[in-house]
Amino acid sequence: MILLAITNKNIVGRKMSKEELAKELSDAIISCKKDNVIAAVEKARDAGMEPTEIIEKGLAAGMNEVGVLFERGKLFLPHVMMAADAMTQGVALLEKDMEPGESAKKPAVIVNGTVEGDVHDIGKSIVSTMLQSAGFEVHDIGRDMPTKAFIDKIKEVNANVVGLSALMTTTMQGQKEVIEALKEEGLRDEIKVMLGGAPVTQAWADKIGADLYAENATEAVRGVKEILNV
């Protein structure tokens, strides 16, 4: 487990560069400790760093690194959530300094669930958690969910993306059924469809007309950002 401690050293007689401050912010996020993040944000703000720079070059960069460490089995789900929570607190500190509309806005609404007949939960939950920690508004509707439950939730929350998980070759068909239902409901052009699950492949995603296939939670975050251009 890697839990980096934030460096509190004073660099006497020299003003820290923006790069150094950004690194300190990033390291604070990787430490997964709220106090470290708050201290680093206050320090960067007092040093004159712009709120958007603090978020993008420091905090968000740290979250990206957390994603990498998670993918490599060096950080685990609770740490990802602690880092995300710490980032939320850090961003909240900056909101009063930001112009209206500049503050962090959830970039997309995502409905995520495991298709009907499939009771596997953990992989889908990890994807939901990682998407949430990346700043998306995620509605995890659970496992073994009928097609209608996906459609109803998509309509209710006006989702931009739907994630369909299937861990068994026998339940992959459920992903196709949701896509067909989206077409029947006239929703297909308004929503991006992401597929995941061990037996799922890019070829299957292409075959049934999905927009995105993600091999793991980190790729899901990366893929959704790319496809939505956020």
Partner 1 sequence: MATEYSIRMGDGKRVYHDKKQIMDDLEAGIADAADLGEISGLSSDETERIAEIIMLEGRMVGVEEGKEVPVTHDISTLRIDGDQGNSGVGIPSSRMIGCMMHERAFGADTMELGHIDYSYKPVKPVIAQECQAMEVCQQNMIIPLLYGAMPNMGLYYTPDGPFENPGDLMKAFKIAEAQESIEKSADHLTRDMIWIMQHLMRSASDGVNFDTTGAAGDGDMYSTLHAVEALRKEFPNMYIEVGMAGECVLGMHGGLEYDGTTLAGLWPHQQAPLVSKAGANLFGPVVNTNTSKSFSWNLGRAVTFIKAAVEASDIPCHVDMGMGVGGIPMFETPPIDAVSRASKAMVEVAGVDGI
Q: Which residues of the chain form contacts with partner 1 (CB under 8 A)?
A: 1, 72-79, 81-82, 84-85, 121-122, 125-126, 128-129, 132, 138, 140, 168-170, 198-204, 215
CB of 170 to partner 1, least distance (A): 5
Q: Which residues pair with 112 in a beta bridge?
A: 140, 163
CB of 165 to partner 1, least distance (A): 12
Identity (one letter) of the amino acid at 197? G
CB of 131 to partner 1, least distance (A): 10
Cβ neighbours for 169, distance < 8 A, ≥ 6 positions apart: 199
Cβ closest to partner 1, residue 4 vs residue 187:
4
Rounded to 5°, angle at Cα 105 from 100 and 109: 150
Cβ closest to partner 1, residue 43 vs residue 79:
79
Please choose, from the candidates 104, 35, 108, 27, the residue with its C-alpha nearest in 3D space to the C-alpha of residue 69.
27
Please choose, from the candidates 86, 91, 19, the residue with its C-alpha nearest in 3D space to the C-alpha of residue 57.
19
Lookup result for tokens 């912010």: 25
Cβ closest to partner 1, residue 83 vs residue 182:
83
Cβ closest to partner 1, residue 138 vs residue 194:
138
Q: Which residues pair with 137 in a beta bridge?
A: 109
Is residue 115 within 8 Å of 175, Cβ to Cβ?
yes
CB of 155 to partner 1, least distance (A): 22
CB of 210 to partner 1, least distance (A): 14
- DSSP letter for each residue of 72-110: TTSS-HHHHHHHHHHHHHHHHHHGGGSPTTTS-----EE
Cβ closest to partner 1, residue 8 vs residue 202:
202
Cβ closest to partner 1, residue 43 vs residue 197:
197
CB of 132 to partner 1, least distance (A): 6
Please choose, from the candidates 162, 212, 149, 151, the residue with its C-alpha nearest in 3D space to the C-alpha of residue 186.
151
Token pair of 11 as six digits? 């660099």
